[in-house]
Amino acid sequence: MSSLTTTADGFLLRGEPFRIISGAMHYFRIHPGQWADRLRKARLMGLNTVETYVPWNLHQPTPGTLDLDGLLDLPRYLRLAREEGLNVLLRPGPYICAEWDGGGLPGWLTSDRDIRLRSSDPRFTDAIDGYFDLLLPALAPFMATAGGPVIAVQVENEYGAYGKDAAYLKHLEQGLRERGVEELLFTCDQADPAHLEAGSIPGVLATGTFGGRIEQSLERLRAHQERGPLMCTEFWIGWFDHWGEPHHVRGADDAAASLETLLASGASVNIYMFHGGTNFAFTNGANHDHAYNPVVTSYDYDAPLAESGDPGPKYHAFREVIARHAPVPHEPLPAPAPKLPPTTVTLDRRTPLLERVGELGVPVHSPEPLTMEAMGLRAGFVLYRTTLPAAGDGVLHFAHGVGDRAQVFVDGAPAGVLEHEHHQESLTVRVPRAGARLDVLVENMGGVNYGPRIGDDKGLRGPVSFDGVVLREWDGYPLALNDLAPLAQAPHDAAQAGPAFHHGTFHVGTPADTFLALPGWTKGQAWINGFNLGRYWSRGPQRTLYVPASVLRAGTNELVLLELDATVTSRALLTDTPDLGVEKS
C-alpha cells in the first residue's frame, strides 16, 4: 500500500496530513562527492522532499545492461536522501526532457527510424519493459513501502505536449505496478487543458508545470481534476541557456512572490530547479524549433543553490516564504564553499588530433559515410576520412547536412566549417592535388530533447560529393573520448595547426571548488584529472566551466583541453568567480 495517499484536497503521508515542499536536483548533474552536501542544503532551506529524473540513455548505454556506478549510483543517492531525512519524488521517464541529451531516450533506440517513440508501438514498449526489468528491482529497497525515501513515482513526462496515446500511458502505469511499485503514481503536464487531457491517466494524480500565472494555472488544474491535491511538479523559477543567447535569470523577489501565492493556496510544490548542476561531458540537450539550438554546459538555471552549490538570493528568499507555511530547521544556514586561490595553468604540451586519431578510435570502413548512430556512438565526435579525386577549386556538398558541426580539412589544412544550426550543406574548397586527403571532424553538440526531432541523426547524414562526384570509401573514427590515456604516450608537436589536445599541470594545496576560464581559446572540451568538465565556446554566454572540488587532488593535477579551432595563448585560468554571461531577465 502506498505510504503517500490523497484526500479531497491534499496528501496524507503514513496517515498524517502532509504537504510536499520539494526541489529538483538531478544526481547525474552533480559530482557524487557533493551529493550529501547538496541534500543537506536542500533540507536547510526548508524542503522536505527532493525530486530527480532518471536518464535512461546513461543507465542503459546498450540494451540489456544497467549502469549504476559513479555518477549513476542512484541507490547511493537515495540512501543519502533517506539519511538526510528527505523524501524523494522519482521521475524515471522513459522520457525526461530536462534539456538533457535526447531527452533521456537512448541512441540505440531512437536510431531505429521505424519505431514510433513515446507510443504503444511494441518495439518501444518492449525496450522500456527491458529497462524497467533491470532498473526497478534495484530501486525496490528505496520505495517508501520498504522503508525508503521514494514516496511517489511519475508516469512519463509532459506527455500531453507530445502525443495522445492512452494505451501507451496505461502500459507504463501497469508496468510500474507489475514490477512492484506500490507508491503513489502521478503525471505532470503544462497547465493547458488540452495537454492535461492528453497526458492524464484515469485514477492517477495529475499535476501541473508552470512558473507564473499561479491562480490561473491552479484553476485549470482544478478544472481538469475536481478532487485531489493541487501540485505544481515543475515550478519554474529560472531558465536554461543556449549557446549564443544571453544568460537567463529571474529576480528573487518575483520568484518568491509566486512561491508565496502557490503555497498560500494550499498547493504542494516542486521547485524546478532547486539546484541545477552541470551538463558534464557530452550530456547537454538541444532544442529545434526553426533551427537547431544546443544547450550550454552549465545548468545553473538561476536556481536557489548555484551550480557550485553556493546559496544565492533565491535560497534565502524561498526559505523565508517556506517558513510562513511549514517548519524550517533551526540550524545555521550554509555559507559559500571555499574556493581555490586564483591559479594560472600553462599548457605546454600539444597533441594534434588529425595525426593521432588512430590512437583514440578504431576506424570503421564503409563505401559511404555512416552516421554516428550507425557506428554505435552515443556522443562525442567522428573523424571521417577519404580522398579527393581531382585538383582545383570545387564545391563539397553534404547531402542532408551535418549533425551538428563539421570542420573540413584538405591535406591537414583547415578549409571551413559547416553548422547544422545555420542549415549549411555546401563549402567551396581548394584541392592542391589529386588524391588529397579529406578530413571531416563532426561534433555532436547534443541531442534534441523536446518535440518531434528527438533522435535526429548525428555525424554525416548522407553522401558527400565534390563538384557533383560522390566521394566513396570512407574511414570513420568514432571518438567517444572516454579515456585520454593513449595521449600520454603520444609525441607532442608545438607547431602543427588544426584541432589538438593541449596538456598542462598545476599544483593544489587543499582541493576546493574553482572555475576554469579560457580567454583566448575558441571552442572545445576540457578535462581535469580525466574528468570531462564539458564543452567551452567563446560564443558564450557561458565563460567559465565549474570545477568541483571532488575532481581535484592535493598535489599535481592535469588539465587537458581539446581545442577545435584556434588559440592565441598557452595559458588557462582557475578563478574563484563564475561567469555565466550577460544576463537576460
Angle between helices 35-45 and 74-83 in degrees, nearest 10: 40
pLDDT tier at 522, thresholds 50, 70, 90: very high
**pLDDT tens sequence across 205-224:** 999 999 999 999 999 999 99
pLDDT tier at 498, thresholds 50, 70, 90: confident
Give 182's contacts (C-beta < 8 A, 6+ positions apart).
Answer: 1, 2, 143, 145
Q: What is the mean pLDDT of the chain?
A: 96
Residue of 51, 84, 173, 234 marked active site: 234
Contact 289, 252 (CB under 8 A): no
- For the residues 109-120, what does the mean pLDDT come to? 96
Residue type, 489: Q
Q: Is the pLDDT of residue 493 over 70?
A: no
pLDDT tier at 563, thresholds 50, 70, 90: very high
Q: Is the pLDDT of residue 508 over 80?
A: yes
Measured CA to CA, the distance from residue 115 to residue 375 in angstroms comes to 19
Give the gyration radius of the chain's Cα atoms. Answer: 25
Q: Is the pLDDT of residue 534 over 90?
A: yes
Give 165's contacts (C-beta < 8 A, 6+ positions apart).
Answer: 118, 119, 120
Give 528's contacts (C-beta < 8 A, 6+ positions apart).
Answer: 516, 547, 551, 552, 557, 558, 559, 560
Task: Measure CA of the first residue to CA of the last residue in the chain; give whole Å.
Answer: 45
Measured CA to CA, the distance from residue 274 to residue 472 in angstroms comes to 51
Measured CA to CA, the distance from residue 513 to residue 319 in angstroms comes to 25
* 234 in active site: yes
**pLDDT tens sequence across 217-275:** 999 999 999 999 999 999 999 999 999 999 999 999 999 999 999 999 999 999 999 99
Cell numbers given for 360:
583514440
* CA distances from residue 69 to 27, 32, 96, 442 in whole angstroms, order as listed: 12, 10, 20, 29
- For the residues 99-111, what does the mean pLDDT come to? 97
Residue type, 257: A
- For the residues 405-419, what does the mean pLDDT come to? 97
pLDDT given at position 259: 98
pLDDT tier at 161, thresholds 50, 70, 90: very high
Residue of 158, 260, 421, 443 marked active site: 158
Measured CA to CA, the distance from residue 307 to residue 124 in angstroms comes to 35
**pLDDT tens sequence across 276-334:** 999 999 999 999 998 999 999 999 999 999 999 999 999 999 999 999 999 999 999 99
* 183 in active site: no
pLDDT given at position 1: 82
Neighbours of 324 (CB within 10 A): 10
Short-list 97, 118, 10, CA closest to 272: 97
Contact 303, 275 (CB under 8 A): yes
DSSP tag of 175: H
Task: Work out the burial of residue 414: count CB atoms within 10 Å of its CB; fewer than 13 is exposed, 13-18 middle, 19 or more buried.
Answer: middle
Q: Is the pLDDT of residue 584 over 80?
A: no
Cell numbers given for 369:
559515410
Query: Cα 226 vs. chain centroid, distance in angstroms?
Result: 36
Give 178's contacts (C-beta < 8 A, 6+ positions apart).
Answer: none
Give 575's contacts (C-beta < 8 A, 6+ positions apart).
Answer: 342, 514, 515, 516, 517, 544
Measured CA to CA, the distance from residue 396 to residue 362 in angstroms comes to 26
pLDDT tier at 488, thresholds 50, 70, 90: confident
